[in-house]
Chains A and B, each alone.
Chain A
Amino acid sequence: MQIPSHTSVGTSEFEGRTNRILRIVTRLYVPIVTLIIIALIGSWAEPWANFDPLTVAQNGRLKFQSGDEVLAAKETNRLSPAEARLAADVVREGLNRTGVGPRILFMGDSQTMAIMDRQPGDLTTPQWVQVILAREEADGHTPLLVLGSLPNLSMPEFLVRLIAANDSPNERVNAVILCVTLRQWRGLVVRPSELKLAQQARVEADIRRLIATNPDLADGDAAIVGALRAARAEGSVGSGGVRTRFADRAEYALDAWFNSHLPLFGIRSQLRARIGLLFTSWRNQIFHITTASPRPVPANTYRASLQIVELALRYARTRHITMVLYLSPVRPIQPNPDIPEDLARFRTDVTRLCESYNAVYLDYTNLVPEKLWTNYPLSDPTTFGEPDFAHFTGPGHKLAAQRIMSDAGEKIGSAMR
């Protein structure tokens, strides 16, 4: 069909304009719709991410001591205000606690820091040890208990903390009480916070010296050296270890700006944790994993952990530090995540080590009766009311502290003098 020429010009102009508009719309469609979807996901994710990723926040029955609790309130505790203050300082100051007089370093995992179904006036095991020490000390120089515990404390982290606590010439440690737990021998991970501690010049020099003088403990050495090497690689770029200064500052500034101005940025860590929690929850359901599922300890992490404890005992011997090792209480029910054969081997090996290095060995695996243990709350998204095999109630802590002091008090007392 022939179209008159004047109409043809008008149509082609119109078509050209329409095509241009269409082209622009086509080009902008993907970016604009993408941004809309991102905004929709962001607005949906914001309330979903509004949660505290820490275990303690998920488990309403578990409480970590902060130092602000009312400790003197419980009638049965009969704490004087001074004792309550001392007990509060144990958790408030942690590893940084300083003062005049002898020092005892107390280390363990979250079992030594948290209380199930906490009642007013409940204290943790190290807080009780501090109170008992204060009560037993007659000459007015109460030994200071320095709390080096950390949730999920691995044995490499224990060694790093021990050396860091004993690093300063004016703040030597006289005795160490270590709560050893089989569950923490399943891994050798050193967290970034502890790696920073390990990278302090004096601490790193001490660690390297210790490793160099104990080449027979190769697995333990490798676990520590490997962590330090990884930390150096993480903290540096290029083989020379040069950090980008100006760019770093710019990056931090931009990150901070995005965090405060864009909602999705501000909730990144919560979203990551939430996704991780979702993954764990699905995993548990698919594989029928419960808190009581057997958790075997790999032979290589076990061997390395044992050797690190031996390294610590050798370090303590050269520094004249009295070592008290106690096997953490195990919940007396079956099924149990600790496999009996693993537990038997653990007992034998730690006993042998303590005998070799003249350290105090206390087996508290059967110390805390079933009535002092509890279950996770039903609301916990990954454990749904299953038994808690790691933490016990306030009276359990008091029992553990009393037994430590009655079994090892004399040895600890002599180390203070």
Chain B
Amino acid sequence: MTLQSYAYLLFALVLWVAVYPVRQPSRRQLALLVASYLFYATWGLEFLSILIASSLLNYAWGIFLRRRPTLGRLWGGVALNVTLLAIFKYLPSIDYLLPISWTGSSLMRSLVMPVGISFWTFEALSYLFDLYREEELDPSLTEFCLYMALWPTVLSGPVCRLPDMLPQFRKNSPPDWEDVATGIHRIIVGLFMKLVLTQLLIAGFEKTGGIDYGFDQISQGWSGIDVWYLAIGYGFYLFFDFAGYSHIAIGSARLFGLRLSENFDRPYLSSTPSIFWTRWHMSLSSWIRDYVFLSLATLRRDLWWRNLSLVLSMMIFGLWHAATATFIAWGLYHGLLLVLHRQIQSIRRRMSMAIPALLDSLMSWGFTFGAVNLGWLFFRAPNLRQALTMFRAILTPRGYFHLSFRPDSYLIAFVVISGYFLFVGLESIFRQLADSGVLERGRWLLSPVFYAVAAVCILIWSGNETTFVYFRF
């Protein structure tokens, strides 16, 4: 069951009606845990059994670690989780390196990765790290299992932290009207992004061509414009897909009074790569920052070491997606981009260049937007060779004079992406006007129109869904 399906909406409605009257936290937790396990079981009982086993092991290891939080015990827990991740996520992808005749090879090929394992394993790891840092965490078994299996996050995040979730599990007040209204708003926005915008970008109005086609079926001969179209188009596709999904997940939890970590905050308006990484896949990027980068960076005080830590952290970020050269290259690319940004910042500080503020902002935004989008070529290309060929096309000026796809593809991508920026701009203006009281009456008029149009678009484009990219991770 996916979060954008009708079956899920029905499930959420039934669950809400069943759980709303339950006031006692322990009963409420139990009801949510059972519902979460039922939800996850729709993906396969074998997956559920792995999730339960991981939860029990981590809970037990947590008790062990809390008694004496030593580095050895922490590494034991980390090794446990990384082994689980490696068995299901990384081993099947390296089976081609082993001799076919080896009996273990067929076993490795038959391994099926439980959906969301990367997300809930990282949640478990953050629990162990927090215990090692001697945070005051004393979850009951039900609370910990619920933290690991909470249905809005179990498939594809946001990656939550126990210190944020535990107080919410324990509160005994039911969700208020504000929670419900915000939850429904987030779900509608998420469905609109996930079902309407992603599909328009990925396939246009007809299922012919589009971005996947450009990456998968064309192996060379892209023009510079083609590559920019594919890179920016895929970047926005990924954003609408994943941010839309995150909206639905966050909205679903909010219906039950639970506030999850945010995952996206208008990332394409970022004016530097560093800011981008505080706005894109925020729950995971902050995880990497807190548990990987800071742990590494504090080992030495040299500048080169801090830069190396940054690059290594971003490579681990890439590796989290999959053990392929393209994802590692994507992480390396972003690590180098962040280091470059730091160097430029320090040079600018020393030179104290006077650039008009607007021009400065525009240039910074343009550089960040272009650089981040080019990075998606590593993320999406089926292999490193193709990604590098596409980069070469970008850098070949005479290769800008032909187009490889139907003109509709460029046009739709342009309309959707411009529409997004226009919407963000208008939303910000409306918000300012509403805050100042100018649009108080207008909001009464605009809100139902906005929701009705979004709901009709969702209805029209539902039942025509594409695969969610982040289920692979």
Residue A34 is within 8 A (CB to CB) of chain B in the complex = yes
- Interchain CB contact under 8 A, B406 and A27: no
CB-nearest residue of chain B to A254: B6
CB-nearest residue of chain B to A265: B459
- Interchain CB contact under 8 A, A238 and B115: yes
CA distance A219 to B221 in the complex (A): 10
The residues in B between 44 and 60 inclusive whose CB is less than 8 angstroms from any CB of A are 44, 47
CB-nearest residue of chain A to B44: A242
- Interchain CB contact under 8 A, B1 and A264: no
Q: Pick from B42, B447, B460: contact of A247, CB below 8 A.
A: B42
CB-nearest residue of chain B to A300: B221
CB-nearest residue of chain B to A237: B471
Q: Which residues of B contact A34 (CB under 8 A)?
A: 447-448, 451-452, 455
Residue B467 is within 8 A (CB to CB) of chain A in the complex = yes
A46 to chain B minimum Cβ distance, whole angstroms, is 12
Residue A372 is within 8 A (CB to CB) of chain B in the complex = no
CA distance A300 to B452 in the complex (A): 43
Q: Residue-by-residue, is B134-145 near A (CB-CB < 8 Å gives 1, otherwise 0)?
A: 000000000000
- Interchain CB contact under 8 A, B460 and A244: no
The residues in A between 1 and 39 inclusive whose CB is less than 8 angstroms from any CB of B are 27, 29-30, 33-38
Q: Which residues of B contact A233 (CB under 8 A)?
A: 467, 472
CB-nearest residue of chain A to B184: A31
CB-nearest residue of chain B to A270: B460
B442 to chain A minimum Cβ distance, whole angstroms, is 14
Residue A107 is within 8 A (CB to CB) of chain B in the complex = no
Q: Pick from A240, A247, A258: contact of B111, CB below 8 A.
A: A240
Residue B63 is within 8 A (CB to CB) of chain A in the complex = no
A254 to chain B minimum Cβ distance, whole angstroms, is 4
Q: Pick from A190, A223, A236, A280: contact of B219, CB below 8 A.
A: A223
- Interchain CB contact under 8 A, B7 and A250: yes
Q: Which residues of B contact A74 (CB under 8 A)?
A: none
The residues in A between 291 and 307 inclusive whose CB is less than 8 angstroms from any CB of B are 296, 298-301, 303-304
Residue B213 is within 8 A (CB to CB) of chain A in the complex = yes
| Contact stretch, chosen from A92-100, A125-133, A224-232 | A224-232
A-B contact count (CB 8 A): 178
Residue B432 is within 8 A (CB to CB) of chain A in the complex = no
Q: Which residues of B contact A33 (CB under 8 A)?
A: 448, 452
CB-nearest residue of chain B to A41: B456
| Contact stretch, chosen from B19-27, B235-243, B397-405, B423-431 | B397-405
Residue B64 is within 8 A (CB to CB) of chain A in the complex = no
Q: Which residues of B contact A258 (CB under 8 A)?
A: 6
Q: Which residues of B contact A250 (CB under 8 A)?
A: 1, 7
- Interchain CB contact under 8 A, A272 and B464: yes
Asked if A255 meets B216 with Cβ closer than 8 Å, knowing A298-B405, A301-B404, the reply is no
Residue A268 is within 8 A (CB to CB) of chain B in the complex = yes
The residues in A between 161 and 190 inclusive whose CB is less than 8 angstroms from any CB of B are 186-190
- Interchain CB contact under 8 A, A272 and B205: yes
Q: Residue-by-residue, is B181-196 near A (CB-CB < 8 Å gives 1, otherwise 0)?
A: 1000000000000000
- Interchain CB contact under 8 A, A303 and B382: no
The residues in A between 244 and 300 inclusive whose CB is less than 8 angstroms from any CB of B are 244, 246-247, 250-251, 254-255, 258, 264-265, 268-269, 271-273, 275-276, 279-280, 283, 287, 296, 298-300
Asked if A230 meets B6 with Cβ closer than 8 Å, knowing A223-B219, A239-B89, the reply is no
Q: Which residues of A contact B115 (CB under 8 A)?
A: 237-238, 242
- Interchain CB contact under 8 A, A230 and B216: yes
B175 to chain A minimum Cβ distance, whole angstroms, is 14
Q: Which residues of A contact B418 (CB under 8 A)?
A: none
Residue B222 is within 8 A (CB to CB) of chain A in the complex = yes
Residue B435 is within 8 A (CB to CB) of chain A in the complex = no
Q: Which residues of A contact B10 (CB under 8 A)?
A: 254
CA distance A239 to B10 in the complex (A): 27
Residue B5 is within 8 A (CB to CB) of chain A in the complex = yes
- Interchain CB contact under 8 A, A276 and B448: no
CB-nearest residue of chain A to B221: A300
Residue A234 is within 8 A (CB to CB) of chain B in the complex = yes
- Interchain CB contact under 8 A, B451 and A255: no
- Interchain CB contact under 8 A, A239 and B92: yes
A374 to chain B minimum Cβ distance, whole angstroms, is 25
Asked if A298 meets B402 with Cβ closer than 8 Å, knowing A238-B115, A239-B472, the reply is yes
CB-nearest residue of chain B to A53: B206
Q: Which residues of B contact A218 (CB under 8 A)?
A: 219
B181 to chain A minimum Cβ distance, whole angstroms, is 8
A252 to chain B minimum Cβ distance, whole angstroms, is 9
CB-nearest residue of chain B to A299: B221
- Interchain CB contact under 8 A, B6 and A283: no
CB-nearest residue of chain A to B411: A283
Q: Residue-by-residue, is B429-473 near A (CB-CB < 8 Å gives 1, otherwise 0)?
A: 000000000000000100111011101100111111011100110
CB-nearest residue of chain A to B1: A247
Q: Which residues of A contact B471 (CB under 8 A)?
A: 237-238
Residue A192 is within 8 A (CB to CB) of chain B in the complex = yes
Q: Pick from A189, A273, A275, A283: contact of B209, CB below 8 A.
A: A189
Q: Which residues of A contact B408 (CB under 8 A)?
A: 280, 283
Q: Which residues of B contact A273 (CB under 8 A)?
A: 205
Residue B207 is within 8 A (CB to CB) of chain A in the complex = yes
Q: Pick from A30, A271, A276, A283: contact of B451, CB below 8 A.
A: A30
Q: Which residues of A contact B406 (CB under 8 A)?
A: 186-187
**Contacts beyond the supplied A35-B452, A222-B217: 16 A-B pairs with Cβ under 8 Å:** A45-B456, A187-B406, A218-B219, A227-B217, A237-B467, A240-B92, A242-B44, A242-B115, A244-B2, A247-B1, A254-B7, A255-B6, A269-B464, A280-B408, A301-B218, A304-B219
Chain B interface (Cβ within 8 Å of chain A)?
1-2, 5-7, 10, 42-44, 47, 89, 92-93, 111-115, 177, 181, 204-209, 212-213, 215-222, 322, 382, 402-408, 411-412, 444, 447-449, 451-453, 455-456, 459-464, 466-468, 471-472
A–B pairs, 13, beta carbons within 8 Å: A29-B448, A34-B448, A236-B467, A237-B467, A240-B92, A242-B112, A244-B1, A247-B5, A247-B42, A247-B43, A251-B1, A280-B408, A298-B405
- List the 10 closest pairs (A to B, CB-CB), nearest first: A240-B112, A276-B205, A300-B221, A226-B216, A222-B219, A37-B452, A247-B1, A33-B448, A226-B217, A247-B42
